[in-house]
Copies of this chain bind each other. A is one copy, B any other.
């Protein structure tokens, strides 16, 4: 992020009354459990979920080029909740009128510039952090086919978005994430970490 004129800086963290929140909220759930006992649970939730009933997509991607090893493009951006630069797959909220595939293609284009991706698989809806929130997402796996002379594409970021791209050979993905995690003020997203760890486990394990 050396091209940035400023290092992001938090100036205040304050309690946010639920009545003033636009994007997130806090709920109390009263429920009766399996034994018939009344209990309660505290939950954070997004306020932006549309018709589809799914908050977000992440775009697991394979970048194929005639003369380079298969790669994946990761995005790095300052995330205020962590006060750190997070390494993630491209991702974003699903707009009200979108399917997960459409949201995935749009977000990939906005955040990385890659325009023509082939959708390989759309995961079922899975729960982001089930003890704390109802937030959910789908993992859309895509393939991007580049030609020999293709120039790096241009990002189409929204105003205020500041996202760095990094293209990493799939075979080095796990090692690269560990490198990032050693850098000051860098964090890796848990979902990306788990996918890379599953891949690495399969490649190095002795069990199956």
**B-binding residues in A (CB < 8 A):** 1, 4-39, 41-46, 56, 60, 62, 64, 69-70, 78-82, 84, 86, 88, 91, 123-137, 139, 141, 160, 162, 170-171, 178, 181, 187-203, 207-208
Contact = CB atoms under 8 A, between A and B. Distances in A.
Given A11-B32, A26-B26, A136-B190, 6 more contacts: A5-B36, A24-B26, A29-B81, A126-B181, A129-B133, A129-B135
Number of copies of this kind of chain in the complex: 2
Contacts of A4: 34
9 contacts: A5-B35, A34-B162, A64-B207, A91-B131, A128-B128, A130-B187, A133-B133, A198-B199, A199-B199
A130 B88 contact: yes
Contact of A126 (B32, B36, B188): B188
A16 B189 CA distance: 28
A134 B196 CA distance: 21
B14 A28 contact: yes
B190 A1 contact: no
A206 to B, nearest CB: 9
A24 B129 CA distance: 13
A168 B127 CA distance: 20
Given A81-B43, A195-B194, A126 B1 contact: no
B27 A127 contact: no
Given A197-B198, A198-B195, A198-B198, A42 B23 contact: yes
Contact of A190 (B69, B82, B137): B137
A72 to B, nearest CB: 10
